[in-house]
Structure 1
């Protein structure tokens, strides 16, 4: 996958910007707060996912403007040498609006090659990308929710049908939690009626939950060895990383678990079991990274996971995703910086940095961002 061009209008602090990236490395340099991450975020939105920085869509539109526009040309090619042919594969033109360009479709909408606009989430799987930003360090020491989101976001890009399964699970879970809260607050419904509703919801949760865990387990079987190998190379063998799926149930066992804990859930007023309660266990030399990892080790763990995510996507889809690396070299020693720079070859990578020194000897395109204004260096 390659991004050929990007046009941005009224996005966060960027009034207008035009980017023609390099075949491999593109560096966006500038001081903090100038808009470097905003540009990376705009590229990420082409995946159909939400902002990796959080926030509402309205916050993505430049202050005082009714909407923002992102326009991009992308090229899908399973082998880099295909890009050298006189007639490459057909380019895809993506246009995304954020805000309210008309009153009928607020929010984020996207069209591909001039087709009628759809919700931006429909882009899932069409523009694969992997993003790293400093906020992802919470993957190591943060709550399990962040690690589950890491898995689910990757799976939604790789398998569009996964998003449907995930949404069905979440919808049933929300309905179940609402029923359990009412049950804990007082007997609004007859017990038999509550039990019947719980049985229906648990049946749906069992089906969708088993499918979610199956996909997660299979993905981690591919991702884990790649991530651990990456960490060994990043740390020059100084530490050994392990990755395990901390499951609440064995395959085929969710329905039994839901029945076994129903009384406990009724007392608690919330759902207590299922894939929404599971986690990824990260270990360094056999010790929980969540407890013992230093800041530099945390960054190395997350970078190892992100590079493994990209490699797994390439193996599964036949296309290497675009890499979006925000402030990736901070707090890394020279050896780890050099390792990362070598890993950026033969794939399209966008990097933001306050200091372009590490990139002066590369063949990449270098841009500067100052006050939301993008210029070629």
Structure 2
């Protein structure tokens, strides 16, 4: 999988900009605030139909303009694939593949395998469980359309169940039969999602550990584990047991929408006990494991975006990452950094072809 050309119109801080890329390594260098990360985000946008950093689509339009267009030409299985993402203010976003619009955005997910490593990933450690669930879901959904469909359906029915609980409270009424219909649907979708997540973490954790060991030179022990209500009981029973609580809260307090991941370093939460460097190493290992997982399932080397990845890491950890990048295991890389000399020295060590873009 390679991105050959990229064109931006009114995207974030760019009025009009075009790039032709090297098939291996591409580096965007320049001062903070000049738009390096925005270019990486545009590439992410082409793969996932949304920004990695700002979920409000209209805020990705350049200030004062009425629309944005991100246009990319990818090479996949020796065929050129043209992907366009566009948005006009007040209208729905459009994603086109080779000139044909998608009916459902979910049909596009997984077509362009891609992994991003960014300082924003720190949210996986410091934010709430929703951020970590989104990470699990994004990795699995790239290669499992049934999972994505179950997830969409689960969230739709969950919203309906929550609306019903609010209706009961507002109207001082209750209908167990109607609620049981939603419980049964949520049980069907939720159980399927839980089983896939559980299997995924079991397969994913050894890959993650391998990468963390390489980055840290085996200095610390890290673990990654899955936390879910469904380890304790089936979903129907959980809903029955939490009925009084759900009616009082007016929302569903149990289910796979409450799942989480435990991140531990030497058996302690990394959020509290990990240094900044250890946390960053943990996140990079997590994303490199994601890369391996997606590559194995899709049979294609994902595009890898490294946003400002060399800051706050000691020299030894950086050199370990470079050795990994030097491996032919990786396909096309895009790197952003504030230090042109540092970046060029790093990529020269990989003995791969590269292009430098000074912004």
Q: TM-score scaled to structure 2, two decimals? A: 0.92
- Residue in 1 that maps onto 2:357: 367
Question: Does 1:25 find its partner at 2:14?
Answer: no
State how far apart, in whole Å, the 2-side matches of 1:72 and 1:50 are: 14
Q: Is the 8 A contact 2:208 2:285 kept in 1?
A: yes
State how far apart, in whole Å, the 2-side matches of 1:184 and 1:286 are: 43
- Residue in 1 that maps onto 2:169: 184
Secondary structure of the corresponding residue to residue 283 of structure 1: strand
Q: Is the 8 A contact 1:254 1:274 kept in 2?
A: yes
Q: 1:309 to 1:54 in 2, by over 3 A?
A: same
Question: Does 1:239 find its partner at 2:223?
Answer: no
Q: Is the 8 A contact 1:6 1:73 kept in 2?
A: yes
Q: Is the 8 A contact 2:94 2:101 kept in 1?
A: no
Cα deviation 1:250-296 (Å, max 9, x = unaligned): 39822222222222222232211111111001111111112211211
Shift of residue 297 of structure 1? 1.2
State how far apart, in whole Å, the 1-side matches of 2:104 and 2:325 are: 32
Question: Does 1:302 find its partner at 2:292?
Answer: no
Q: Any residues of structure 2 matched to 1:336-351 within 5 Å, and which?
A: 336-345=317-326, 346=328, 347-351=331-335
Shift of residue 122 of structure 1? 3.5
Q: How many residue pairs were aligned?
A: 350
Secondary structure of the corresponding residue to residue 220 of structure 1: helix
Q: Is the 8 A contact 1:48 1:122 kept in 2?
A: no
Q: Is the 8 A contact 1:169 1:209 kept in 2?
A: yes
Shift of residue 52 of structure 1? 1.3
- Residue in 2 that maps onto 1:324: 305
Secondary structure of the corresponding residue to residue 180 of structure 1: helix
Question: Out of 205, 215, 228, which is 1:224 matched to?
Answer: 205
- Residue in 2 that maps onto 1:91: 80
Question: Out of 354, 359, 366, which is 2:338 matched to?
Answer: 354
Question: Does 1:47 find its partner at 2:47?
Answer: yes
State how far apart, in whole Å, the 1-side matches of 2:87 and 2:105 are: 9
Q: Is the 8 A contact 2:54 2:60 kept in 1?
A: no
Gapped regions of structure 1 (runs ≥ 5): 78-88, 370-377
Shift of residue 54 of structure 1? 2.0
Shift of residue 120 of structure 1? 4.5
Secondary structure of the corresponding residue to residue 313 of structure 2: coil
- Residue in 2 that maps onto 1:6: 6
CA RMSD of aligned residues (A): 1.8
